[in-house]
Structure 1
Amino acid sequence: MSGAATAPVAVTFPAGVLFDLDGTLLDSAPDMLATVNRMRGARGRPPLALADIRPVVSRGARAMAAVAFPERDAEGVVALVPEFLAVYGEELGRHSRPFDGVETMLAALEAAGTPWGIVTNKPEYLARRIVPQLGWQDRCAVLVGGDTLAQRKPHPLPLQHASAAIGVPACDCVYVGDDARDILAARAAGMPSVVALWGYRLDDDDPIAWQGDVMIDAPEALLQPAAWPRPA
């Protein structure tokens, strides 16, 4: 007995997408490099190269200060953070750009009616300053910084908060990030994840070990709805 033909299920973009900022949407390493080199120059030290600072950009001010001043112990590095943030605030957006393919990928999500937002560990006030420089202030549906809530990534709270803000259950959202903390936060939130391999990583990082749902080499690959992970 022959049954009725089953219509193919259309593959669509996720119901909502959340992104990390530095190293995922934004190539902000040049701004960070300008910051640490100003700090080093003020102390009579030669500038670093972009390759020196790039791997740790996603790990925040402390990690970059530690690279810039490797002789400092942990307490000494922490003491540099306020200076780093002040100088970075002056360099913010002067040298950074979205990664190639990001604007096209965001436009594809918007054309499909998929809301997108940003969940970053960058202080919220800095994130809110850079978003208008990129022309995203009326496009980004939610912005959560590292100090917006009581917890930051890898805790799931920022992702849970952001998904609620855009009205999409966490299990129907996807989080895209370039650091292990991003993938840990997504897993804890019950949110499918994309490992952004175009981002910033140390040489000994193993993104396979992060156990994200999919790994993507370039933003352009996310123009295909089938490239995105599906809800469990």
Structure 2
Amino acid sequence: MTLPTPRAILFDLDGTLADTAPDLAAAMNKVRTDRGLAPTPYDVLRPVASAGARGLIGAAFGLKPGDEGYEELRVAFLDTYESAIADHTTLFAGMPDLLDALPTRKLAWGIVTNKAARFTDLLVPKIGLGHAACVISGDTTPHSKPHPAPLLEAAKRLGLAPEECWYVGDDLRDVQAGRAAGMATVAAAWGYCGHAEPATWEADVIAETPLDVLALIQKAA
């Protein structure tokens, strides 16, 4: 499928721009070892990294929001993560090349994440993303993804109509938010993707690597 010509590319952060799972998993496992528990295997935690505290606590402790003990674990996890937020986090292979290519095509790019600004504002400059044209965190608007409000706010800050933007993300809620906002959606199959297959998300297109996104941009030009 050929997507409409974009004027901006918006990206999810965790699992799309950056491989944050190593630091998220390390923080979750410190919470476990601080309580005398064995670490949860990394391959159990990685697939749920995009779901943040909810997903990681569910995988590591079998608890969900509202369960007894969940909130105490959530606070401990977030404080631990904040203290070591970029020890092992890196951009995905090919992502620096993609981001470097966008200005040469006169394309703006920005970040729209459900990560709270407390963490986004700390992490983004540490991993070389401080030149994003806009950064919308999970608490920037009254709603988080899959609600379209964060994406609509990003388009507004860029001075663009939503249909002039593409949204790239590695989770179903990214595609749902992009579709609701009227943007073209690209499922990032290189990301964490939870336990679902991107083919089931009804994204406009699936990209296997960041450089595939660049090829899609070239095709749409």
Range class of TM-score, shorter chain: over 0.9
Deviation larger for 26-35 or 218-227:
218-227
Q: 2:71 aligns with which of 67, 78, 86?
A: 78
Of residues 76-85 and 145-154 in structure 1, the stretch that sits farther from structure 2 once superposed is 76-85
Secondary structure of the residue aligned to 2:47 is helix
Q: Using the TM superposition, name which of 183-192 and 72-81 deviates more.
A: 72-81
The answer to whether the 8 A contact 2:5-2:164 is kept is: no
Q: Identity, % of aligned pairs?
A: 39
Long gaps (5+) in structure 2: none
| Aligned-pair CA distance for 1:133 | 0.7
Q: 1:29 to 1:189 in 2, by over 3 A?
A: same
Query: What is the TM-score when the length of structure 1 is the normalising length?
Result: 0.88
Q: CA RMSD in A?
A: 2.0
Cα offset, 1:201, TM superposition = 2.3
Matched residues in 1 for 2:194 and 2:216: separation? 30
Shift of 1:83: 1.2
SS at match of 2:27: helix
- The residue number in structure 2 matching 1:148 is 140
Instruction: Assess if the C-alpha contact under 8 Å between 1:171 and 1:191 holds in 2.
Output: yes
Aligned positions, number? 218
Deviations 1:80-131 (A, max 9, x none): 2111110000110001100000000000112212110000000012111111
Residue 34 of structure 2 is matched in structure 1 by 42
Are positions 1:209 and 2:219 aligned together? no
1:174 counterpart residue number: 166
**Separation of aligned partners in 2, 1:179 and 1:165:** 24
Say if 2:64 is the partner of 1:63: no
Query: 2:5·2:220 contact (CA, 8 Å) conserved in 1?
Result: no
C-alpha change, 1:189 and 1:36, in structure 2 (3 Å) is same
Decide whether the 8 Å contact of 1:20 with 1:118 is kept in 2: yes
Alignment of 1:87-126 (within 5 A): 87-126=80-119
CA distance, structure 1, for counterparts of residue 210 and residue 5 of structure 2: 14
Q: What's the secondary structure of 1:82's corresponding residue?
A: helix
Counterpart pick for 2:121 among 117, 128, 134: 128
Quick one: which of 3, 11, 20 aligns to 1:19?
A: 11
Q: Matches of 1:184 and 1:229 in 2, distance apart? A: 22
Q: Which residue of structure 2 aligns with residue 29 of structure 1? A: 21
Partner residue, 1:162: 154
Match of 2:214 in 1: 223
CA distance in 1, matches of 2:76, 2:33: 13
**AA partner of residue 208 (structure 1):** A
